[in-house]
Structure 1
Amino acid sequence: MTLISQLQNNKADLQQTRIHTRELPALKEGEALLRISRLALTTNNITYAAFGETPHLRYWDFYPTGDSEWFHMPAWGFAEVVESTAEGLAKGERFYGFWPIASHVVMQPVRVSERGFYDGAAHRLELTSAYNQYQRTSTDAAYRAADENYQMLLRPLFITSFMLADFLEDNDFFGARQVVISSASSKTAYGTAFCLQDNPRVALVGLTSAGNTGFVEQLGCYQSALDYGQLESLDPSRPTLYVDFSGNRELRARIHRHFAGTLVHDCYAGSAQSHEHIGGADLQLPGPQPQPYFAPYQIKKRNADWGAAEVTRKFNEAQLAFIRRVGDAQKPWMRVDQHVGLQAAQRLAEALIAGDIDPLAGNAVVLD
């Protein structure tokens, strides 16, 4: 009998966590047991936790705990097959994908192919398919064993960054000449800036806390870096697009007031600072109302425009360039910190939820 240990969060208070251990029954026909090897924990995971019940996201539903008060905060990383009764999966095979923060997971692999498989568990069938796909490392053109930490830390963020940059370019920046990006020190934010830095149409302005302005300036992918208190120093007559990674309502209101008449679009891309949803309090804002951005929608569009193989090729090329830049030994954008075991993951998750974030750190949880 295999014991499975899981890190769970309280739905009513994300800061409250527990490690829950139970026995797993024997595998049924068509199931596979995977041991989770390493996971990335970033502010992206906090977004998953904060918006777990949002209808089109439903992050809490991917790995039900069986307890209505507790949920799994999912994370991207790698796992290996321990045992399988499903055709096409061999013991020891390694997969990249969307896992619970746990020691093991049982899945029902379907649509098994050279590329990988989908989890066919009944409760996942109506969830976003992009999160149900598991990639064999042996057939992943972008996989590098030495880059596992970078891949799991950056790939799920960078797909958002890459497709967000493509979405903005695809819409000609809604007529903007300036893109203001909040939480500019976050990896998803500067990944977006990395993708847009060579576009001459717009200037990129990074907004961040006073303590992070130096970090944002040295990245070099923003034309300027301002702390939040300097927002009003920007030219209010310049057509501006706001990309909101902070989720801060007060900041959003200041943006709308300062660029009254010139704010062309408010793109709500994530929530590094706030666990609140966009709601009725935003409806009184002058100018365009915040529009949530969801990467799978742009992926679906580009799959139709370019074909899935070309989307993958473009993304892999950009991702490898981003990893090379982020991991540059002479001037790194990220320092990888490893945390060993579920208890270390628990402490890290609580710190991230509390907002204790070092912009230079990339946190890898090692479980094997």
Structure 2
Amino acid sequence: MTLLTSLQTDKTALHRTRLVSAPLGSLQPGEALMRIDRLAVTTNNITYAAFGDTPHLRYWSFFPTGAEGWGHMPAWGFAEVVRSTVDGLAEGERFYGYWPIASHLIVQPVRVGERGFYDGTPHRLDLTSAYNQYQRTTTDAAYRAELENFQMLLRPLFITSFMLADFLEDNAFFGARQIVFSSASSKTAYGTAFCLEGRDVQRVGLTSGGNRAFVEGLGCYGRAVTYDELESLDPAVPTLYVDFSGDAALRSRVHAHFGASLVHDCYAGSAQTHAHISESKVALPGPAPQPYFAPNQIRKRNADWGAAEVTRRFNAAQLAFITRVNDASAPWMKVREHRGLSAAQDLVDALGTGRVDPNLGHVVVLD
């Protein structure tokens, strides 16, 4: 009998976790058992958890625990088919996708084809379909076995970065002459800045004093400014604010400083937890913050260009980004592997309490 071990997160304190084990039952017709063996666990996962109950996101709903107050924090990574009752899905096949931080997952594959499958488990049918798709490594043009760690660390973030850069350019940067990024040391922020290299718009990275040298060393921002130095920026320059921090106090300062020169406030995600996100909304001068959701831009570009062309452009950009991030002469990120779910607990605690080094990417490897 297979034993399922999972890491469950306290929804009220995202750094606090527990390990729960239980036997898995027999597979039913139409099901496959996946053994999860490699996951990327980053601040992005804390963001998923922080927005877990948001109606249009519902990240907690993908892998319900059945335990009040506890959730499965989702993560991107790789798993192999252990057993299958599904035609077209063979034991030993390897897939990239969205998994719980756990040893196994039972899926109900539908729309099985050359690229992979979608999980048709009933509770997932009304959730965002992009998170239900599982890609065969053998037919993924962007897959490189030696780059698995970088793919799972960067791909889910980079799709946001790539489509966000495209969204901003598609809207002519809302007339801005400079873009100010909060949490500029985050991978999603500097991935967006990377995609905008060569565009006729200044890129300013807002960051903490401790991360300033790292942000300056990236080279994808024209200027790095600490949060304390925000007011040193010229308030007359038409400015687009891309908010990766979710910090309401910082947002208020940005609006107050730029005033009528702030042409757009794009809320692209959060590196913070509930304490910051739930702060009360106050009236702000200038444009109201507008949430950005990558699947909306993906749908638009699928209609504009066709899905195959969207995939081709993304794959090319992703490979260029991974190549730059992994440049041996001046890497933007080094990978640290953590072995086992107990090590994953320590990692989630560090991420949830902000004790992370921005130039490290963290991977959990499961036996």
TM-score when normalising by structure 1: 0.98
Q: Which residue of 2 aligns with 1:304?
A: 303
Q: Provide the C-alpha distance between the structure 2 equivalents of 1:139 and 1:192, rounded to a whole number of angstroms.
A: 27
CA distance in 1, matches of 2:184, 2:235: 20
Q: For 2:225 and 2:361, how far apart are their aligned partners in 1? A: 23
Counterpart residue number, 2:366: 367
Q: CA deviation at 1:66?
A: 1.1
In 2: Cα distance, 1:363 partner to 1:95 partner: 20
* Corresponding residue number in structure 2 for 1:48: 48
Q: Is 2:99 the partner of 1:99? A: yes
CA contact (8 A) 1:47 1:275 kept: no
Aligned to 2:222: 223
SS at match of 1:163: helix
What is the aligned partner in structure 1 of residue 86 from structure 2? 86
Q: Distance in 2 between matches of 1:112 and 1:68?
A: 34
Is contact 2:46–2:273 with CA below 8 Å preserved after alignment? no
Question: In 2, Cα distance between the equivalents of 1:347 and 1:207?
Answer: 28
How large is the Cα RMSD of the aligned pairs? 1.0
Measured in 2, the distance between the counterparts of 1:257 and 1:93 equals 54
- Runs of 4+ residues over 2 Å off in structure 1: 273-283
Give the aligned partner of residue 128 of structure 1: 128
Letter of the 2:108 partner, please give it.
Q
Q: Offset of 1:69 from its aligned partner? A: 1.5
- Pairing 1:116–2:116 present: yes
Please state how far the C-alpha of 1:273 moved relative to its aligned partner.
2.7
CA distance, structure 1, for counterparts of residue 161 and residue 37 of structure 2: 26
Q: Deviations over 1:82-138 (max 9, x none)?
A: 001111110000000000000001000000000000000000000000000000000
1:174 paired to 2:164? no
Structure 1: how far apart are the matches of 2:224 and 2:172? 23
Aligned to 1:189: 189
C-alpha distance in 1, partners of 2:226/2:232? 11
Question: How far is the alpha carbon of 1:274 from its aligned partner?
Answer: 3.8
Please list, as runs of the form range in 1=range in 2, the aligned pairs for 1:211-290 lying within 5 A after superposition: 211-276=210-275, 281-290=280-289
Letter in structure 2 aligned against 1:119: D
Structure 2 stretches lacking a partner, 5+ long: none
Whole-Å separation in 2 of the counterparts to 1:347 and 1:248: 25
Distance 1:90 1:185 in 2: 41
Amino acid at match of 1:226: V
CA distance in 2, matches of 1:17, 1:239: 44
Q: Tell whether the 8 Å contact from 1:338 to 1:366 is kept in structure 2 after alignment.
A: yes
- The C-alpha deviation readout for 1:295-349, integer Å capped at 9, x for no partner, is 0000000000000000000000000000000000000000000000000011101
Cα distance in structure 2, aligned partners of 1:43 and 1:275:
13
* 3-state SS, counterpart of residue 336 of structure 2: strand
Change (3 A) 1:277 1:31: farther
Identity %: 71
Structure 1 CA distance, aligned partners of 2:259 and 2:273?
24
Deviation per residue, 1:145-188 (Å, 9 max, x gap): 00000000000000000000000000111111010000000000
CA-to-partner distance for each residue in 1:251-272, whole Å, 9 max, x for gaps?
0000000001110111111111
Contact 2:165–2:196 (Cα < 8 Å) also in 1: yes
SS in structure 2 of the partner of residue 8 of structure 1: strand
Aligned to 1:64: 64
Matched, 1:350 2:349: yes
The Cα shift of 1:16 comes to 1.9
Task: State the shift of 1:279 in Å.
Answer: 6.8
Aligned-partner Cα distance in 2 for 1:68–1:282: 29
Alignment-mate amino acid for residue 351 of structure 2: L
Greater Cα shift, 265-274 or 142-151:
265-274
Amino acid at match of 1:301: K
Unaligned residue ranges in structure 1 (runs of 5+)? none
Residue pair 1:158, 1:191 contacting (<8 A) in 2 also: yes
Count how many residue pairs are aligned between Structure 1 and Structure 2: 367
State how far apart, in whole Å, the 2-side matches of 1:237 and 1:99 are.
46
In 2, are the aligned partners of 1:247 and 1:275 still within 8 Å (CA)? no
Q: Distance in 1 between matches of 2:142 and 2:12?
A: 39
Residues 1:30 and 1:352: Cα distance change in structure 2 (over 3 Å): same
Greater shift, 237-246 or 274-283, is seen at 274-283
Worse overlay, 275-284 or 88-97: 275-284
Query: Structure 2 CA distance, aligned partners of 1:3 and 1:50?
Result: 29
CA contact (8 A) 2:248 2:279 kept: no
- Tell me, what secondary structure is at the counterpart of 1:331? coil
- Whether the aligned pair in 2 keeps the contact of 1:181 and 1:206 (CA below 8 Å) is yes
Matches of 2:274 and 2:95, distance apart in 1: 31
Distance 2:153 2:322 in 1: 10
CA contact (8 A) 2:59 2:74 kept: yes
Amino acid at match of 1:222: Y
Secondary structure of 2:3's match? strand
Instruction: In structure 2, give the amino acid aligned to 1:258.
Output: H
Question: Comparing 211-220 with 265-274, which one deviates more in the overlay?
Answer: 265-274
Q: CA shift at 1:22, angstroms?
A: 0.3
Aligned to 1:148: 148
For residue 249 of structure 2, give the secondary structure of its aligned residue in structure 1.
helix
CA-CA distance at 1:198 after TM superposition: 1.1
